[in-house]
Amino acid sequence: MVNVSSSATDELKSAIRGQLLQPGDASYDQARSIWNAMIDRRPALILRCAGAADVRYGVAFARDNNLPLAIRGGGHNIGGSALCDDGLVLDLSSMKSVRIDPQARRAYVEPGATLHDFDHEAQAFGLATPLGINSTTGVAGLTLGGGFGWLSRKYGMTVDNLLSADVVTANGELVRASADSHEDLFWAIRGGGGNFGVVTSFEFQLHPIGPLVYGGLVVLPIAQAKEALVKYRAAHAGMPEELSVWAVLRLAPPLPFLPPEVHGTPVIVFAMCYSGPVDDGPSVVEAVRGFGTPVGEHLGPMPYAMWQQAFDPLLAPGARNYWKSHNLGGIDDGLIDALLSSIGNLPTPQCEIFFGQIGAQTQRVPVAATAYPSRDTQYAMNVHGRWDDAADDERCIAWSRAFFDAAAPFSLGSVYVNFMTQEEGGRVAEAYGPNYERLVAVKSRYDPHNLFRHNQNIRPAA
């Protein structure tokens, strides 16, 4: 246990506008619970920041007292980087402001905001930027790792839409990082994670989206999955950039549009969002309906913000989660065979494997333009082990790893950093590929003592 004098703690308490929690405080346990129930850590202090000043005090306190430091935004990271044992957690979750400038099409977003918060404000003006697919995800962590979602084929990665950020660095300075100020830091935070400082505000480019999009789900029995995936693969090149189609393989949840006898049986689900003219939606998704003979489908116009929440029930907090991920340049026959074998022995009804389709605009940005390097990725594949009982840990983790290993020969060898679990630190160089050495140089400049290390860590040069 790290010892911090009570006088130092009292001094911090009197300096901040937010709240300082310690073990034994009424809301301490609630404050240390995050999305992935596998993560159980006990910080010495949790500082619920009310603004950038609190962040500066917190960073200085951790640095001066030699405390481990973790940064919590949405608390959604699979590896649990939002928490540390026996250190200080800077909890940014109450810094949730989202300000939209509809004329300039800009969003100014604090680091505690979730996708739901962002979409709620931006969609009031018919605007959006590419974000993830689960509305409870934090904007900050998603963005710092690269970020992609339903709009990425048209508008690129989340970081391709980041215009500037206010960052508290390890020395406690607040700097504005943009294309013409602290350019090296701006480059690094666009994919390099929380390695370089604490972002207290993001400025995003917005695009006219919605408020209605056309989309939904087409569900096929697993017996049709092989042929459907071959058709999906063939259709990819001809799809308009406004259309994103993800393939999800799992046991069918009890969705109201599925016959009861399909519930709990293995299925392949094509989830799609078309953000072009809503009237064109039916004709655009018709090809997807032809991938097989559906056991059920739910398609139509819907508010974009509603579609962004469609998967929340399957991704609610409180379950145990373990992920393994590869970036794919395509879907090989051998990968399809390995996939179907894996779906044949799902360890729990909540486990799934998905191919998140990106490509198009995400591939037109040069590899060296942002820290996020994986511009050859057509699909981000994620093996999502999910279960409720700790007794199932070994079984579910083994299943996830087995398919990850079987899929490796068909992958690009790179990985999306936000999908990496806590024990995958050895893959950090893989995640950043040709950009890794430049990231080390920026880290060495802004955080030479590795204060920000509770993340997929980029170590400074010795």
Q: In this structure, is the dihedral angle defined by the CA atoms of residues 84, 87, 93 and 95, taken in order, positive or negative? A: negative
Residue 1 has pLDDT above 60, yes or no: no
98-209+434-446 fold: 3.30.465
* Residue 2: predicted pLDDT: 65
User: Exposed (0-12), middle (13-18) or buried (19+): which is 317, by Cβ within 10 Å?
Assistant: middle
pLDDT in tens, 237-277: 999 999 999 999 999 999 999 999 999 999 999 999 999 99
Separation in Å, CA 79 to CA 35, 135, 228, 457: 10, 19, 33, 12
Residue-level pLDDT at 226: 98
212-419 topology per CATH: Vanillyl-alcohol Oxidase; Chain A, domain 3 (3.40.462)
Q: How confident is the model at residue 3 (pLDDT cuts 50, 70, 90)?
A: confident
This prediction has a pTM of: 0.97
Q: Is the per-residue pLDDT at 17 higher than 90?
A: yes
Q: What are phi and psi of 60, to 5 degrees?
A: -65, -40
- 20, β-bridge pairs: 47
What pLDDT, on the 0 to 100 scale, is given for residue 462?
Answer: 80
Tens of pLDDT, residue by residue over 127-181, are 999 999 999 999 999 999 999 999 999 999 999 999 999 999 999 999 999 999 9
The neighbouring-strand residues paired with 229 are none
**What is the structure's pLDDT at 70?**
98
pLDDT mean over 79-106: 97
Average of per-residue pLDDT values in the chain:
97
- The domain limits of the chain are 6-91, 98-209+434-446, 212-419
Phi, psi of 172 (to 5 degrees): 90, 0
Q: What pLDDT, on the 0 to 100 scale, is given for residue 111? A: 98
What percentage of the chain carries pLDDT values higher than 90? 98
pLDDT digits (tens, 9 = 90+) for 391-433: 999 999 999 999 999 999 999 999 999 999 989 989 999 999 9
Rounded distance, CA 393 to CA 391, Å? 6
Report the C-alpha gap between 332 and 406 in whole angstroms. Answer: 12
Residue 317's pLDDT is what?
94
According to DSSP, the residues that pair with 321 across neighbouring strands are 386
Q: Are the beta carbons of 418 and 432 closer than 8 angstroms?
A: no
Whether 31 has a pLDDT exceeding 90, the answer reads yes
Where do we find the tokens 């695009």?
Answer: 207
The architecture in CATH of the region 6-91 reads 2-Layer Sandwich (3.30)
pLDDT band per the 50, 70, 90 thresholds, residue 305: very high
Q: What's the mean pLDDT in 331-350? A: 97
pLDDT tens-digit profile of 198-242? Answer: 999 999 999 999 999 999 999 999 999 999 999 999 999 999 999
Do the bridges between strand 106-109 and strand 98-101 make them parallel or antiparallel, or are there none, so unpaired?
A: antiparallel
Residues 52 and 73: beta-carbon distance below 8 Å: no
Report CA Rg, the chain.
22
Distance CA 163, CA 186 (A): 9
